[in-house]
Amino acid sequence: MADIIQLLPDHVANQIAAGEVVQRPASVVKELLENAIDAGATQITLLIKDAGKTLIQVTDNGMGMSTTDARLSFERHATSKIKIAEDLFNLHTKGFRGEALASIAAIAHVELKTKTHDAEIGTKICVEGSKVIEQEPAVVPSGTTIAVKNLFYNIPARRNFLKSNPVETRHIIDEFHRVALAHPQVAFTMSHNGASVFNLPESNLRQRIVNIFGNKTNEKLVPVEEETDILKIEGFVIKPDYAKKSRGEQFFFVNDRFIKSAYLNHAIVSAFEGLLKGGFHPGYFLFLTVDPKTIDINIHPTKTEIKFDDEHSMYAMLRSTVKHSLGQFSIAPVLDFNRESSLDTPYNYSKKKITAPTIEVDRTFNPFKEESKPKQANISFPYKREKNAASWESLYVGLEDDTANANDNQHITFESEQITGKLFEDDSTEVRQVTFQLQNKYIVSPIKSGMMVIHQHLAHQRILYEELLKNITLQQAVSQQLLFPLQLHFSKLDMEVLKKVQEQLEHTGFVFSAFEEDFVNVSGIPVALIESQASQVLEQLITDIDNEVPDAGFSQNDLLVKSMAKSMAIKSGTRLNKEEREHLVNQLFLCKEPSVSPSNKPVIVTLDANDMDKKFM
């Protein structure tokens, strides 16, 4: 039998490795930015075109590479970070696997320009599909510039699986946020298709957060700081009043490396227990510093998951630290047993002179003398209590006259209209619409064949969906003007999303009086919307658009209307009176598709009487 096992060619092995390391353009951005950080750069510039599909270029002023190092950097498992296996448990850098550049070069056109600070001339290398096409000396500035062009050019199947440009751009910006937050001492700039997106100067952590997420973020932050023998915690949590339904502003960093940990996230959620509304998530920017020997970060190709030696202790310390910070800054109610506010000196007595108390003694007091009855309090009653029971008869004096007057009233006659025949005869078979509410979630109504159960939240979604879609299509929305305009603050990226759908939002009833860099003034809202819900509706809309941005046209309007209808619909658990229930049912059956919600979920369930009879057999 012939041998069937063979070694894979290097370019095939690199493409397979690239499938683990490079999942989308954001993965390339992450690897290149981390390499620039490891090179000691203080100024990093990111340039992308067409959401990174055409070009991703990272320029830094780091230490640069020699000609030999530049050539070796494209080989698999070539790294300057580790020499022996034990070094994996004592890492202080970002990249260490030696697979990033080799994997990227296997699926793209890569151009590298680099020069060390003490060298007179640098090096330029061009690689296409793991093959070095060009290597020559070049006059370049100190540092490194890597340009990745035509990503996945030789793997069309992977390229077809990429999302639309806005979605891929959002993923790139998320990776940019994570690296920029972890290194506030480094200046970052980012441009997309020639337009400047971020310009972050060197700053501290609080200022870096404000520069990324907007000036309004500064008043939302609560400092968190604690240091123990095994763990150091620092950073900020967002006040419960500004919690969102999305999980966007949740950042965990371990030794300046962004990680995802559902276990540690649960510690934060438990610290906010009792402070958040249902469905809202806490926001935080927390940096954990631990001994590198106590963690293992090589359990996932993207290095976003970490295994800790003692997770339980970290959970307890993180939870108590956040809870202490919320109480220390009067965010959460606390009990302070060291101070009693009722013992504080009143303001009116704070400036009075202190005088010694005086004691007076009644020297004529005799405890064996018969005690006199205490004086009764001077309280007026409508009548006086008498000891004699016969005095109660005085209360009934004059009632005889009132009784006589009452008998006289029996002779009073009232004018009335003559009863005539009815225009329509009474129909004894007529059934009035009767509705009941079950668990403040379902509307139950009897029908001839049995019983109809309506999901109130989904039913209201369908009503609002068709109404808003009609308004956008016909551009005849009715708006309610606000006496005082609302000023809603968003990040720069969120403002860009709102600007793209501004026209459609105005057709639904929103009126915008001003669009600035990080806030918007709303002077009018749709009729079906409550003023306090305007911010939540727009935030949910931005989140939905970020997750799935369709092309322009009807599909974009459909997504916008679905998101708004879901946010504006009455929630499960809302108690409705009789008129509200009947109005909701009537409006539902006026819709074109009353039986399904905008997300194709059933709205109405019919229970047949025969089926219920079988339950009792």
CATH number of 442-605: 3.30.1370.100
- Measured distance CA(375)–CA(562) in Å, rounded: 76
Interior angle at CA 288, CA 286 and CA 290, nearest 5: 180
Topology alike, domains 10-200 and 212-328: no
pLDDT tens, position by position, 159-198: 888 888 878 888 899 899 999 999 999 999 999 988 888 8
CA distances, 303 to each of 186, 286, 505 (Å): 22, 18, 40
Q: How confident is the model at residue 303 (pLDDT cuts 50, 70, 90)?
A: low
| Res 349 pLDDT > 80 | no
Distance CA 512, CA 526 (A): 12
3-state secondary structure 523-581: EEEECCCCHHHHHHHHHHHHHHHHHCCCCCCHHHHHHHHHHHHHHHCCCCCCCCCHHHH
Give the CA diameter of the chain.
128
Assigned CATH for 212-328:
3.30.230.10
In whole angstroms, give the CA distance from residue 609 to residue 596.
Answer: 23
Q: In what order do the strands lie in the sheet with 450-455?
A: 436-438, 442-447, 450-455, 604-608
Residue 51 near residue 172, CB atoms below 8 Å: yes
Q: Would you list the domain boundaries of the chain? A: 10-200, 212-328, 442-605
pTM over 0.85: no
In angstroms, rounded to a whole number, what is the distance separating the alpha carbons of residues 431 and 448? Answer: 9
223 three-class SS: strand
Q: Which CATH number fits domain 10-200: 3.90.1150.10, 3.30.565.10, 1.20.1060.10, 3.40.720.10?
A: 3.30.565.10
Rounded Cα–Cα distance for residues 486 and 534 (Å): 9
Mean pLDDT of the chain: 80
Which range (84-88, 526-530, 588-592) has the least confidence?
Answer: 84-88
Residue 529: pLDDT above 90?
no
Q: What's the pLDDT at 359?
A: 83
430 has a pLDDT exceeding 60: no
Parallel, antiparallel or unpaired: strands 221-227 and 232-238: antiparallel
- Confidence at 18, pLDDT banded by 50, 70, 90: low
